[in-house]
Amino acid sequence: MIHWLMQRMFGLYIKVLLALKSAVLFDKINQLEWYRETLHQWINGHKFNSNIKILEVGCATGLLSGYLAKRGYATAAVDFSETMIVAASSSILSVDFYVADVINLPFKDGEFDAIVSASVVNIISDQQAAIKEMMRVCKRGGVISILVPAHGFNNEELQDLIKSIGVSDFSEAALRAWHKSAPKMHIHAAEALLHKAGLITAPPISYLQGMVSSVSATNP
């Protein structure tokens, strides 16, 4: 009963932050170990060369962008929310941040060696236009990688994940909220978007016991 009440309390706290202080909420979630480690695992798996120029699309408060910069990449990042960009640029000085729409990126053709985007394509209406715009600003031979909450991950699997990684309190509530509220995407649909744009896809990869998946592709 106590655990249930605590989860209700943290769940309400998350709803209030989302409504009133979304930048604070995203900053808190980005710093949770399970979320941060998932993003790092996704990025590290690419084994990018250290001298590349990389763009993060949908950077929120910029913690992943900061991680990219720490790894030595020349990093730029965009988000549609000016609030997020203000929060990011005020605390992370090693990244060039821009307020921008994913379907109208303020960069020249072929400017980046790699483009990464977490939990963005799954929430926008014109997904194909977003992929095409990422492709436009990606060099030939460059990589585009998207990370999305996976369709088909169910409540029972969520319970197994919670037990497996040992989360509680706000961290558990955030994991539950993401599972419940984030629009999910079938990984084959994500692959189809990249393939339709003319990109050469690699096999998808799952994280958090299948809760999220990434699909990456090369710009031919």
Structure confidence by residue, pLDDT tens digits, 138-194:
999 999 999 999 999 999 999 999 999 999 888 998 899 899 988 999 999 999 999
CA distances from 102 to 126, 150, 185, 197 (A): 10, 21, 18, 15
Give me the residues paired with residue 116 across strands. Answer: 56, 145
What is the pLDDT at residue 24? 72
Helix axis angle, 33-44 to 169-181, nearest 10°? 60
Computed over every residue of the chain, the mean pLDDT equals 91
Residues 31-66 pLDDT 10s: 889 999 999 999 999 999 988 999 999 999 999 999
15 band by pLDDT with thresholds 50, 70 and 90: low
CATH code of the domain covering residue 61: 3.40.50.150
**Buried b or exposed e, range 51-86, using 16+ CB within 10 angstroms:** ebebbbbbbbbbbbbbbbbeeebbbbbbbebebbbe
Q: Give the whole-angstrom CA distance, residue 30 versus residue 63.
A: 7
- Give residue 112's domain range: 2-218
CA distances from 195 to 113, 189, 216 (A): 19, 10, 10
Domain count, the chain: 1
